A and B are shown apart, each in its own frame.
Chain A
Amino acid sequence: MKHLGKSIATILMTAALPVALMASRAQQPRDQKPPESTPPANADRGQQVFEQNCARCHNAPEGFSPRISGTIAMHMRVRAGLSNADYQALRRFLNP
């Protein structure tokens, strides 16, 4: 299995995008380029929380209303056992 993991990592090394980027892209037009400026550290943290908790179980939904971003974050806090800091970071990430 270790060999399999190494092989996959090697093959994808140059082409891979973070899984969570898929989620953020899903809410944008596909041709839209990512912002060139460096995002704030807390935005990165929210993306990490999404990637390491939500996206491990399910694909990111293709966009949703900002009116439910807080509800989704609350659901994930309970279901994924998020810390309070991660919960707050996820709220920020889900509410662009």
Chain B
Amino acid sequence: MFYAAQYAAAQETPLLSGGVGFFTSTPGGNTTYMPIIEPLLAAPIGNHLLVESRAVLLESFSPKGNGQPGYTNSGFVGLSYLEGDYMVSPHVTVVGGSFLLPFGTYNERLSPIWISNFQDGPLIGGIGLMSTGVGVGGMLRGSAISHRKFSIDYATWFSARSGNEHFNSRRSTGGRVSLYLPEKRLEIGASYGRLLQGTQENFYGTHVWWEPANTAFRLRSEYARGAHAQGYWIEADYRTQAFGGLNSWVGRFEPVFRMQQTFRIDNIASDGAPPVNTQRADFGLDYNLPHNVRILTSYARQFSSSGNENVWETGIVYRFLFPTWKGK
């Protein structure tokens, strides 16, 4: 009865969330500065419909190069996605509009600046994402099976071709299915995508996530293969609870490591992967300050036949989350 009363009190006031950040990146000795805002709006309409959207506003200041003093700047404002989610049944949600393609895990789950451990996405981030990472069309998704010992969720999409500046997409189809074992804290998934315009291509992906119970250790990995390139990334992060818990000053440190490799199958670079075989190791140290503020620092060493380079990155991100109005 008590919990029934709590349930009745839950409110669906639209929310405004997102991140505000300031990043610096120094690949090969040239530092670029980038202030960025990623707001997210989620607005329920009734009990079954949710409209949500994420946008990005950024300005980038880079050295002019060629020995010239000063910086050049460029800005970008755009919608990452704008979708309506209609919960048809306990197992099916129909998504319509412009949505993030559910290929692998990074694009949908780890790309927001207040979530990702590193400032840079993985090198294989473009494989399977049809150039834009976004689909314009429809998607069916939901929980296929939910059992005490395992659960299976799925997402399958069809996207039309769109040349609109804010809703740019390519004609494609695909899907993802994931098996999660709660007792093992293990998730294994597979993704498939097919580009349906121009030279039609297939993309395949797998992912494995593991978070041992009662630890703050996380291991995430993905492999993706397209017609012209393939690669993988493995990322591990950890926070100790041994010195006063996760909210102690020591527990707020979060060492992060990521290893990644890409392999070019041919010279047709249509998938966003590096044009030559590349290996990269990222060493990061993040710090989770109170009040939803996070400091990201990392050093990466990248090896390829086009030249090796060091990449130093720093950033600070504030995550906000509040109702859009007072509500009931």
Contact = CB atoms under 8 A, between A and B. Distances in A.
Interface of A: 1, 5, 8-9, 11-13, 15-19, 22, 25-26, 30, 40, 42-43, 48, 52, 56-59, 61-62, 64-75, 77-86, 88, 91-92, 94-96
Contact of A73 (B10, B112, B238, B242): B10
B84 to A, nearest CB: 10
Interface of B: 2-3, 6-7, 9-15, 42-44, 50, 52, 85, 87, 90-91, 93, 95, 108-110, 112, 114-115, 141-143, 146, 151, 153-155, 178, 180, 182, 185, 187, 209-219, 238, 240-242, 245-247, 288, 290-292, 294, 319, 321-323, 326-328
A81 B7 contact: no
Given A12-B241, A85-B146, A66 B214 contact: no
20 contacts: A5-B210, A12-B242, A16-B214, A17-B246, A19-B216, A40-B3, A52-B185, A66-B10, A71-B12, A71-B42, A72-B15, A74-B12, A75-B52, A78-B50, A78-B52, A78-B87, A83-B143, A84-B143, A86-B146, A95-B9
Given A8-B217, A56-B211, 19 more contacts: A5-B219, A12-B214, A17-B241, A22-B245, A22-B246, A25-B247, A42-B3, A52-B180, A57-B115, A58-B114, A62-B292, A66-B11, A69-B10, A73-B10, A81-B153, A88-B7, A92-B6, A94-B10, A95-B10
Given A56-B211, A64-B322, A94-B10, A78 B245 contact: no
Closest 6 pairs between A and B when the two form their complex, measured CB to CB: A81-B153, A83-B146, A84-B90, A16-B214, A70-B12, A70-B10
B211 A16 contact: no
Contact of B109 (A40, A42, A57): A57
Contact of A71 (B44, B238, B294): B44
A65 B322 contact: yes
Nearest to B238: A8
A56 B215 CA distance: 12
A78 B323 contact: no
B215 A70 contact: no
B13 A56 contact: no
Contacts of A57: 109-110, 115
Nearest to A75: B42
B12 A43 contact: no
A91 B12 CA distance: 10
B216 A74 contact: no
Contact of B292 (A13, A61, A78): A61
Nearest to A64: B321
A93 B328 CA distance: 20
Given A78-B50, A78-B141, A15 B11 contact: no
B215 A16 contact: yes
Contacts of B290: 62
A68 B291 contact: no
